Amino acid sequence: MKQIETCQNCGSKYELTSVRIHHREKDSLFCIVCGFEYYIYNDAKSWYDKLIERHENHLGSKSKII
């Protein structure tokens, strides 16, 4: 399963991919641009992220598509 999530702090966009696992896992994903914890989960999936659009709104500068 794939989904798109946006960092609420800087506006960077991530494509998230999930993999089903046998046990429940509580974890979170952090933005590599600004360090903000942008996605928290607690289910029988493990999530992996890929930065697809870099924004630096927290710095007041323009965005850059990767």
Quick: pLDDT tens for 27-60. Answer: 999 999 999 999 999 999 999 999 999 998 877 6
- Residue 6 banded pLDDT, cuts 50, 70, 90: very high
- What pLDDT, on a 0 to 100 scale, did the predictor assign at position 57? 80
Helix, strand, coil in percent for the chain, rounding step 5: 5, 65, 30
DSSP state of 57: G
Locate 24 and state its tokens: 């429940």
Neighbours of 19 (CB within 10 A): 9
Three-class secondary structure of residue 58 per DSSP: helix
Rounded Cα distance between 24 and 20, Å, is: 10
pTM over 0.85: no
- What pLDDT, on a 0 to 100 scale, did the predictor assign at position 66? 54
